[in-house]
A and B are shown apart, each in its own frame.
Chain A
C-alpha cells in the first residue's frame, strides 16, 4: 500500500521485510534494512491508479520463513537459479534499458531449471512525461541504488506452501491470422516471415494498417505471452521484450474497450489473494487506470513484467498456495 517516507522508514527500522516501489528521490532517503526497491512514480493502490512522487508503494513480505537479498550484473544474473531457496519465491527487479535486463529478457526462456523456481518481478522505470534519472533498483541491505544491476529477494516459504505465478492478459490471437516468425532472439527486428513469406516487418505493419498498440502474442500452450511494440526506427521495429526465433507470433486481436476488457479479464480470472502484483505501464495508459481500482490487484506500474521470463502489457501476480 502507499506509505509516506516517514511510515516507510519506520517499517524498515522495525525490521520488516519489504518490497518498495517509488520515485528515486524517496528511495535514496531510505535506511539500510531488509528491503529491495525499484523506481516508478506510477502505482495501482487500493484507492485506484495514481501517479505520485511523494509516496512509496510498500509491500510487506510477512509470509517468509527466511529471506536473502543479492544484486547481479549481466554476467551473473542467472546465478539466481542456483542461489534461490529450493522451496521459495524469487522476487526480481531490473532497471529498464539496462544490459542486465536485456540479457535476462533474451536468455531466460532457455535457462534450464528456471521454471523449477518461481520467479516474479518487474522492470523499473521513470516518469514518462519528465524523465530525470536512469531507472534504478535498490539493494536495501546496502541502501545502494543501481542503474545496471538486478536486485533479487529470495524468499523461503514454509513447508507445504508453494508460490504460484500467474497473469491477467486481455490479449488473445485469432488462429486464422497470419503467423509471424523472427530470425533471431532480439529486442528489435527488421525482417521476419509472415506465413512463410519474407517481409520487412515495419512495412508489413504499415501496409496492413495494424495497430502497434496491440502486442504480438505467442500461445504457450494456452497461456498467452505478449511482446509489445516500442516503436519504429527506420526499418527496424523495437520491442519492450524480445521476440524469439523458435516462437510463432500473431498480432493480438484488436481491443475496442481496453479498460472494460481489462476489468472483465480480472473478473474472469476469479478471486485471488495475491502477495504481489504489478501491472504494465501500457495497460495503465491505454486503459486510463489513473483513479480506477482493479481489486484485488495493487502494486507498482511497471516497464516490463517478469513471470519467469520478461513479458509485456500484462498484469502479473503471485499467490502462496497450499
Chain B
C-alpha cells in the first residue's frame, strides 16, 4: 500500500483525520480500530494489518475509499 495512504489511514485511526465511508463494514471497522487504538496506543501495527487485510479483500469497493482517502 502507498505510504501516503498508510499515513492517512493511521491519522484516521488516531482520529486526527475524519473520513466516513459509504461502506457500512468499513465504517464499523474504522470505529472498532479507533477504540482499540485508544485503549492501547501501541497496537497501531496490528490495527493497520487488519485494515490492510480488509481493503485487500474488498478491492472492488475499496477503490473508491482509497481514492477518497488519498484526496483528504
Contacts and interface: CB of A to CB of B under 8 A. Distances in A.
B27 interface: yes
A118 B25 contact: yes
Contacts of A116: 53-54, 57
Contact of B28 (A161, A162, A223, A322): A223
B51 to A, nearest CB: 11
B25 A162 contact: no
A307 B25 CA distance: 9
Interface in B1-39: 19-25, 27-32, 34-35, 39
Contacts of A166: 22-24
A75 interface: no
A166 B25 CA distance: 8
A223 B24 contact: yes
A109 B32 contact: yes
B28 A160 contact: no
Contacts of A61: none
Nearest to B28: A220
A234 interface: no
A117 B23 CA distance: 14
Contacts of A309: 28
B23 A164 contact: yes
Given A167-B24, A221-B28, A162 B34 contact: no
Nearest to B57: A116
Q: Name B's interface SS.
A: helix
Nearest to B25: A115
A308 B30 CA distance: 14
B70 interface: no
Interface in A97-130: 109, 115-116, 118
A233 B61 CA distance: 45
A309 B27 CA distance: 13
Of the listed residues B22, B24, B53, B61, the one surrounded by the most CB atoms of chain A closer than 10 A to its CB is B24
Contacts of B58: 162
Interface string B31-51: 110110001000000000000
B27 A223 contact: yes
Contact of A220 (B19, B31, B54): B31
B72 interface: no
A246 interface: yes
Contact of B20 (A118, A221, A321): A221
B33 to A, nearest CB: 10
B60 interface: yes
A221 B25 contact: no
Contact of B27 (A118, A164, A221): A221
B32 A115 contact: yes
A5 B39 CA distance: 54
A131 interface: no
Interface in A203-228: 219-223
B60 A162 contact: yes
Nearest to B62: A162
A165 B60 contact: no
B37 to A, nearest CB: 12
Given A221-B20, A222-B20, A222-B21, A164 B61 contact: yes
Interface of B: 19-25, 27-32, 34-35, 39, 53-54, 57-58, 60-61
10 contacts: A115-B28, A115-B29, A115-B32, A115-B54, A116-B53, A164-B61, A166-B22, A220-B27, A221-B31, A321-B60
